[in-house]
């Protein structure tokens, strides 16, 4: 049975890549399972429909801090490291995300 995690109401803003602001409405801690990794991670609900953000803890856990976003998205040309040069969890996550985007 799936259980809805408790949500903490927030009144914060995050700066976007285009220097705009995004309202963070809520924060929740979720159990994350990906490949062989299992951890608790933070996720944020925004004021934009269908856009929720992963916490920095996810980025650190999967070793994505130094991976350019265009290395993950198919539509953007990649100038970053090839997935073969990334650590195994990062390469697997990028491959999975590319299938979704």
9 and 48, same domain (yes or no): yes
47 and 79, same domain (yes or no): no
Question: Looking at per-residue confidence, does 82 or 96 come out higher?
Answer: 96
CB within 8 Å of 34: residues ≥ 6 apart: 62, 89, 92, 93, 96
In this prediction the pTM is 0.58
Supply 65's token pair.
């801090």
pLDDT tens digits along 24-70: 999 998 888 877 878 888 888 888 888 878 788 888 888 877 777 66
51 and 69, same domain (yes or no): no
Looking at the predicted structure, is the pLDDT value of residue 98 above 70?
no
Is-contact 72 98, C-beta < 8 A? yes
CB within 8 Å of 81: residues ≥ 6 apart: 67, 71
Q: Which of 55, 71, 87 is the last residue of a domain?
A: 55
Instruction: Please give the residue range of the domain that contains residue 4.
Output: 1-55
């Amino acid at each position: 049975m799936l259980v809805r995690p408790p949500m903490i109401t927030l009144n914060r803003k995050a700066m976007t890549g285009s220097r705009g602001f995004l309202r963070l409405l809520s924060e929740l801690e979720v159990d994350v399972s990906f490949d062989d990794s299992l951890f608790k991670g933070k996720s944020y609900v925004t004021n934009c429909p269908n856009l929720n953000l992963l916490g920095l803890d996810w980025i650190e856990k999967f070793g994505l801090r130094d991976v350019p976003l265009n290395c993950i998205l198919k539509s953007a040309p990649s100038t970053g490291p090839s997935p073969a040069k990334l650590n195994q969890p990062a390469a697997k996550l990028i491959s999975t995300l590319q299938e979704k985007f």
